[in-house]
Structure 1
């Protein structure tokens, strides 16, 4: 992987994206989300450095908090979570899911999630256990962590 150049500008732009991403979403009366998600590290820069990975995880948590604030007044039931992939920073994402016309899959169930797990050292301090539940899942080749609000939304 190529070295990430212009880190100050890159992370400044990442913070702008976190501050505005939730504003692009429509939380109106007729809105719905079918596993909507966004990857803040789409290119996987966090795979090359733990420091860069931590910054992206912080950004995902910041975006998640912003979305939860907007979802507080949303009139429909919803699920929302952050997914941190074990192997690929580019797969880390923030999700919103609601009842939707595409498929009858709400609330979404993720099998094999073990809750109340010890988080890895590289992001353990970024997750407040009073605010969030953390779980670990393993399904085939996919493995990672689910971070979910204790207070808002349907749980898995």
Structure 2
């Protein structure tokens, strides 16, 4: 594996992207989201070490919180959550979903989520249990963690 150079600049840009990503979204009256999502670690740098993975999870949480703040003005019902892939940091993402013309799949329901879990040590201290609930589900060959705000009306 090639050495990861320029980490300081990379993380500065990562947190800047997490702080501004929500500004690119259009929240007009006719807007909708069909499982819209964004990956902040698209290349999977977080797979290199726990320290790098934790920084990406922090950035996903910061983006999620800023999106929720921005979605307060969105007039339609919506769902939003973070997915953390236990094996692949490149699959971690923040999602927004609302009623949409593509498919009648709102509200999205994932039936096999276990909300009574012990969080993995590598991100346990990053989650505020007063603000977020975390669930785990298995799909195909992977294990995924869902992070969702406790204040959302439309839960998974």
TM-score band by shorter chain is over 0.9
SS class of match (2:9): helix
SS class of match (1:137): strand
2:154 paired residue number: 154
2:105 paired residue number: 105
2:34 paired residue number: 34
Q: Which moved more, 1:93-102 or 1:137-146?
A: 137-146
TM-score for both structures, normalised by structure 2: 0.97
* TM-superposed deviation, 1:16: 1.1
1:88 paired residue number: 88
Question: 1:56-135 counterparts in 2 under 5 A?
Answer: 56-135=56-135
* TM-superposed deviation, 1:116: 2.6
Aligned alpha-carbon RMSD (Å): 0.8
| CA distance in structure 2 between the partners assigned to 1:19 and 1:61 by the alignment | 10
* TM-superposed deviation, 1:140: 1.6
**Deviations along 1:63-92, whole A, 9 cap, x unmatched?**
000000011121000000000001000000
| CA distance in structure 2 between the partners assigned to 1:89 and 1:70 by the alignment | 25
2:45 paired residue number: 45
Which structure 1 segments of 5+ residues have no match?
Answer: none
Runs of 4+ in 1 over 4 A off after TM superposition: none
* TM-superposed deviation, 1:2: 2.4
| CA distance in structure 2 between the partners assigned to 1:85 and 1:126 by the alignment | 16
How many residue pairs are counted as aligned between the two chains? 156
**Deviations along 1:112-155, whole A, 9 cap, x unmatched?**
10003111001000001110010000022131100000002410
SS class of match (2:122): coil
TM-score for both structures, normalised by structure 1: 0.97
Which structure 2 segments of 5+ residues have no match?
Answer: none
| CA distance in structure 1 between the partners assigned to 2:19 and 2:42 by the alignment | 17
